[in-house]
């Protein structure tokens, strides 16, 4: 039962433009969301998080938007850089569920120079 | 501050064998969780330990087990290996707080022949 879905397996964007990665979830009890980036042969690295009490969180070039009514979140990267090319995972949890996270299947971002 | 350390990084086993993977969390992190990553499936939650107690378990068969020691180091074991167990096994540590990110190790790549 895939409670977190990333329906786009891949995305290609030109350097300098905006990258938008999408994530949908089915469990309305999720209240904490994370985005991770993963390079080959490395573990995932944390990018940005958002709590359900907010609808937007920014950190430098990365912004996460949360639409609770649509059970949808998105990650915006502006401007995109070739070094951003990686697989991006979104993850969700219930705050009281002892660190159990549900991950999407990932979106492979390719930023072309 | 040292990151999450996983050993071994790569291993090859044959069907029917068993394997033990080790994880040393970030100093001070008492929560350790394990995830399985396979192509197209994202990260699937295996289990989470806190203070030597398993607090959460994912939907994996009983062949997958784990434990945590008093120093927070954790091991996971897979018995009677099957071809489908070939995957990247990721360990993540976290503080006890309900929010905050998971810190991942680089993973143990298991190949079952």
Partner-chain residue, chosen from B40, B50, B102, that has the shortest CB–CB distance to A101: B102
Contact with chain A for residue B101, Cβ under 8 A? yes
B41 pLDDT above the threshold of 90: no
- CA–CA dist A85, A112 (Å, integer): 9
pLDDT at position B95 is 83
Cβ-defined contact of B45 to A100 (cutoff 8 Å): yes
Residues whose CB falls within 8 Å of the CB of residue B101, separated by 6 or more in sequence, listed in order: A34, A46, A49, B94
- CA–CA dist A31, A33 (Å, integer): 7
- CA–CA dist B33, B93 (Å, integer): 6
pLDDT at position A89 is 96
The helix (run of H) or strand (run of E) holding residue A110 is strand A107-112
B16 pLDDT above the threshold of 80: yes
pLDDT at position B1 is 61
- B94: β partners: B31
CB contacts < 8 A, A to B, total 69
**Separation of first and last alpha carbons in chain B:** 37
**Contact list, A6 vs chain B (CB under 8 Å):** 42
Nearest CA in chain B to A89: B42
Q: How high does pLDDT run on average in chain B?
A: 93
Above pLDDT 70, what percent of chain B? 98
**Contact list, B68 vs chain A (CB under 8 Å):** none
CA distances from B79 to A12, A58, B14, B15, B69 (A): 41, 44, 11, 10, 20
Comparing CA positions, the residue from A75, A25, A27, A97 lying closest to residue B45 is A97
């Amino acid at each position: 039962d895939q409670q977190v879905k990333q329906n786009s397996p891949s995305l290609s964007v030109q350097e300098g433009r905006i990258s938008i990665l999408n994530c949908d979830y089915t469990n309305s009890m999720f209240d904490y969301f994370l985005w991770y980036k993963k390079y080959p042969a490395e573990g995932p690295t944390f990018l940005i998080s958002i709590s359900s009490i907010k609808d937007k969180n920014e950190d430098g070039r990365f912004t996460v938007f949360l639409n609770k009514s649509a059970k949808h979140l998105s990650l915006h990267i502006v401007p995109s850089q070739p070094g951003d090319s990686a697989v991006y995972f979104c993850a969700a949890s219930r705050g009281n569920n002892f660190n159990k996270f549900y991950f999407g299947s990932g979106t492979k971002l390719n930023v072309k120079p | 501050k040292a990151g999450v350390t996983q050993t071994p990084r790569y291993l090859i086993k044959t069907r029917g064998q068993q394997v033990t993977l080790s994880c040393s969390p970030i100093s001070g992190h008492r929560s350790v969780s394990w995830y399985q990553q396979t192509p197209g499936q994202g990260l699937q939650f295996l289990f989470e330990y806190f203070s030597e107690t398993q607090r959460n378990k994912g939907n994996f068969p009983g062949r997958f087990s784990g434990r945590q020691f008093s120093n927070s180091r954790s091991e996971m074991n897979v018995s009677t290996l099957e071809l489908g167990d070939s995957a990247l096994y990721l360990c993540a540590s976290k503080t006890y707080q309900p929010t905050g990110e998971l810190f991942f190790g680089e993973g143990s790549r298991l190949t079952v022949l």
